[in-house]
Structure 1
Amino acid sequence: MSTTAGRASADRLARLLNLVPYLLARPGIAVSEAAADLGVTERQLREDLELLWVCGLPGYGPGDLIDMAFDGDRVTITYDAGIDRPLRLTPDEALALVVALRMLAEMPGVGGRDAVERALAKIENAAGDLAGAPVAVRLPGDDARLAEIRAAVERGRALRLTYYTAARDETTERVVDPMRVLMVAGRGYLEAWCRRVEAVRLFRVDRIDAFTELAEPAAPPAAARPHDVSAGVFRPTDDLPLVTVRLGRSSRWVTEYYPCEEVRRGAGDDWVATLRVADLGWAQRFLLSLGPDVTVLGPPELVDRIRAQAAMALDAYATPAG
């Protein structure tokens, strides 16, 4: 996509996000008057309205789509799909977005970096003094570490890693026989035979806290085979725990970011999704972070663990500070 086309798409998205609340506040407004207010041609506004008419959440049921009624040359929004006010970020939200974009801009291998930088510049400009807060985002070790690990792989040496495993929230030490370095979705990975688990593993470079190149040569066994990462790093298998959750409207994005085995409509606006997870401990932390918009339905072990942790949190809030 060219720079000009990318900018036009970004401008149109911003216009569409503000168009629904604008029309809600002016039911029955003439298309010509609205176009003049918004600084676009009548043809462009009609094209925007046609696009809005087919916008909705995955599944695209009639209760998810934006709806409108025309009376001659006048338009009225009859269903807003929850987009009932222009987007306004709180100071905390703006700062969080700035930090996230700065981190994304620093990440090696990210595609569309110019689009990230343009978005960051716009938000920093809108945030004003807040964007100048003393928050520095850098990933100083990633590029250098990626190069160092790649060099170690090329030299054919075994490595001793200090590695953080997010799924279990623990740091371990292990000796590995490197096989290759690869990039998947903008992240660097070391693929190696792990002597601790006697299997091929992918280690995210940004989670390698430290490593030492050993004198002995890397010697992955003949049975070691590289992973097929064409569809991503995580490959659900039948032996992994199956988690079932009920998702409210604001949490439906989970079904787009995580591979689900089934997604079906529940009561009202709820969706019920089932997905495989590598570790119930990770699932517990992730689902608790989503708040009350998500209800865990299974497995029973995960339900009990989340209920127990939630009870502990409530007890902590109920206990007066000493």
Structure 2
Amino acid sequence: MNESTKIDPVLLVSVLNFLRRHEHGADLGEMARHFGVSAVRMRGIIDFLWTVEFPGTALLGPESMFDFDAEGLEDEEPWVRLTHDPTARVSRRFDPQELATVLIGLDALREHRSAEERAVIDRLSAKLRGGEDADAPAEGSGSPLVDALRRAIDRGAQLRIRYFASGADAPEWRVVDPLRLEVRGAMVYLNAYCTKRRGFRWFRHDRILEHEALDSPIGEYSEADRNRPLEVSGHRLATVRLAVAPSAYPAVRPYLPPGRAFPEPEDDGFSHCPVDFRSYQVLAQLCAEHAGAVVVEGPEEARAAVRSWARSAIDAARPVPGSRA
């Protein structure tokens, strides 16, 4: 693409959906006006899609690639027609962790998109969640916390968060100006200006234990501030001391290094051992699914995160006052 070297995945998906709806093709210039780009940029998008291949499927060679009517594109008034769509014959399935990663990524990608592009993302999220009406926009895609962060960014309003920083002895409240979300793996990071630290910080979503929307507006920030690169101090795993009952061995074993066995149960009937987790949210869900059989002994940061997760889950399960139970 001559005008921009950046590939916008939402725009690519939108163009493909447009062509699927216009099975007999569409005028290149009209497509460019529809998507608010130049005809040169739109031709570059089509040329890029022509090179996209879907490996690792039963489709081979040209069958695994998009194809377009070449003659139509060379007309004096170029015409775009999708003649082969490899995705129509490919069924994708995700395991729970992969699905969660995709949904979080879609949620962050939704930022600063047009209404049409957001509708595409919402429909895809609904389909991945198995919603009954996949063509309707999804209400609040993603986790409640990520939804709250996104709303604060859209409103341009400050947030008050209770954050447990890595290496801290206890969580602390901070008032931040939220600017942008970014996904790295299964984690969502908030780019924000911290009024307490008087500087820009990246906040990891699973370390935000509580949050409160404020009415006060954020300050003025440049595009460079909003789009500053993600800086992560390290993707080290969190080591947690667990007490594990034998009944929960099968659930906890995937988190142990290959070949490592549980220690023999002690007098209390539990094995006591260190276990590594990629996030405290995963740990909290494991404890909830095996209540009483998986107990967090330390560090206090992990215990606090599990308690906060449990309180949020209980609050979410409570019926709304005045509603029918």
- TM-score (structure 2 length as normaliser): 0.34
- TM-score (structure 1 length as normaliser): 0.34
